[in-house]
Amino acid sequence: MSIQENLERVRKRINAAALRAGRDPEEIKLVAVTKKTSVEVIKEVLALGIKSLGENRVQDFLVKYPQLSPDIEWHFIGHLQSNKVKKIIGKVSLIHSLDSWTLAEVVSRAACEAGVVAGALLQVNIAGELSKYGLSPDETEAFAGAAAGLPGIELRGLMTIAPECEDPEEVRYVFRQARELAKRLKDNIPGIKMDLLSMGMTGDYEVAVEEGSNILRLGTALFGR
């Protein structure tokens, strides 16, 4: 299948899932996860109308970034080491993976020094997987309250990665809990935004849409393996 066919199929499925949930498909952003793809392949997906790209490694991002249009909206979706923050500040529009207080402070300082505001999501480890980064749901509210006060960071919402599974219904609870947690933070923390929910990958994005995701991070579904 070509990337174009893949994209058409993905868009149809997103639309159908949104309609099942009584949602407007237009409010769901598709981020093409371009890790392991070449600049040539990325240009192909851009030509098909994709405007947002996601990378999970700073090194790879830094190779691709200067070769592509400055109009691309870049999303940093992987674990971010504090010593690499400076390299991406001002270049990415959203960091999906704030997962420690140290990192939040470093992002804040780097953004202030660069004179920009860094959009960011808190990564939450809903399923409590030891193999994954992310805040535990229990600590997220206190963390969000404190992070909302850091200069240079605009906290926009939550990101979560569901466990791998055969049947996406098995991880519906992950997406539902993330949505409920975001709502709780919005209700309890004055002035906090919490308008973005980044959840849903190739194996589970339709369920994520049904549970309220508005940013899908799709790699394999678009580029194949």
Residues that bind ligand PLP (CB under 6 A): 33, 35, 56, 77-78, 161, 201-203, 217-221
Shortest separation between residue 4's beta carbon and ligand PLP, angstroms: 17
Find how far residue 191's CA is from the centre of its chain. 22
- Residue number with the shortest CB distance to ligand PLP? 219
Q: How far is the CB of 5 from ligand PLP (least distance, A)?
A: 16
Neighbours of 120 (CB within 10 A): 29
CA angle 99, 54, 79 (to 5 degrees): 25
- Least spacing, CB of residue 215 vs ligand PLP, in Å: 10
CA 51 to chain centre: 14
Q: How far is the CB of 94 from ligand PLP (least distance, A)?
A: 12
Q: Which is nearer to ligand PLP, 37 or 192 (CB)?
A: 37
Closest CB to ligand PLP among 33 and 182? 33
| Distance set, CA 79 to CA 16, 98, 132 (Å) | 32, 8, 9
Output 143 or 223, the one with its CB closest to ligand PLP: 223
Report residue 12 as tokens.
Answer: 């149809």
Query: Quick one: which of 133, 155, 151, 132 has its CA closest to 143?
Result: 155
Question: Please, what sign has the CA dihedral across residues 94, 83, 55, 126?
Answer: negative
Q: Which is nearer to ligand PLP, 143 or 205 (CB)?
A: 205
Nearer Cβ to ligand PLP (145/203): 203
Least gap, CB of 191 to ligand PLP (angstroms):
28
